[in-house]
Amino acid sequence: MKPENTSERFIVSSSPHIHEGSSVERIMLDVLIALTPALAAACYFFGFDALRLTAVCTATSIATEWLCRVMMRRNRSIGDLSAAVTGVLLALNLPPSLPTWMAVLGSIFAIGICKQIFGGLGYNVFNPALAARAFLLISFTGMMTSWSDSDWSATLTLNEGVIDIATGATPLGAIKDAVKAGREIPGFTLAGVARLFIGDTNGCLGETSVFALLIGAAYLLYRRVITWHIPAAYTATVVIFATVLYCVNPQTSVMPHIHLLSGGLVLGAFFMATDMVTSPVTKRGMLIFGVGCGVVTMVIRTVKTGAYPEGVSFAILFMNALTPLINRGCRNRVFGAKS
């Protein structure tokens, strides 16, 4: 019998039936807010180059996304701020002296090849900013490994006194060079550790100031944009790996806190490994993902025959490729179904 009152009708729709109120725009805005301290620190330590690269990468990313959506005859998606986040993250992963045209090329690659060619936001396999960084590193190795001059090396010491190294090296680069040359690993004075934490060292724009990055990470955790699982598993694995190596052979290893404070570990663990699209969806999968990132990072950093002193970018990209398998192996059992 057909109901006379339309209010008695039931509307059936697919899940989810309850919405928490967040949106892509709000999440991306939170990420941009969280990146503000790191960007401010980059501007303080590297000056105009930080603003130049950030502006170029962000503008190029947005323009590339708009052009790709027009060519594919799809809705304009620049309003969701995802392209802006990619541009800022890419800029923070670049050395301050990188030429502008290389930053433009990297931004086009990040959006056009690593994101839109897969279908846009939600379909990309790899983190676009990290994939673009890897592309630039392979294509322009010299410029991607050229760092600004700094007197941070005065805080490195050996048993005999202060070590004399080129000011253009990063902390991880100095450590890697010492290992490959068979020299004693340089130690860090208390002032050196403090400078690593604050960010007054050579490196990419956004990876130097751990203090600024932790402020942004705390905001993301507070806003529940990310969870603790991947960052905790990532950093804990690095600490355990580094501790074991240091206990076995302290002459060719550094203390765990040096690995935590050097390079792009904090930036990668909190801002890129936690990417919702390219990381696992279950809590157990996130822990596996974080452990995998930590292991691969430390293998790249500590293998004596390796030429690359940093492993965060390649570790996350490698685990991005394994995310579908992790999701399949860590699927939650449906209530009432056989496991």
Sequence-distant (6+) residues with CB within 8 A of 284 are 330
Work out whether strand 187-188 and strand 156-158 pair parallel, antiparallel, or are unpaired. antiparallel
pTM: 0.86
Work out whether strand 187-188 and strand 161-162 pair parallel, antiparallel, or are unpaired. unpaired
Q: What is the pLDDT along the chain (339 residues), one digit of tens a residue?
A: 555 555 556 566 665 555 566 788 899 999 999 999 999 999 988 889 999 999 999 999 999 999 988 888 877 677 788 899 999 999 999 999 899 999 999 999 999 999 888 888 888 899 999 999 999 999 998 888 887 655 555 455 544 444 444 445 677 777 777 777 666 676 677 777 787 888 778 788 888 889 999 999 999 999 999 999 999 999 999 999 999 988 888 777 788 888 888 888 999 999 999 998 899 999 999 999 999 999 999 998 888 777 778 889 999 999 999 999 999 988 777 666 665
Judged by DSSP in three states, 288 sits in: helix
Beta carbons of 281 and 328 less than 8 angstroms apart: no
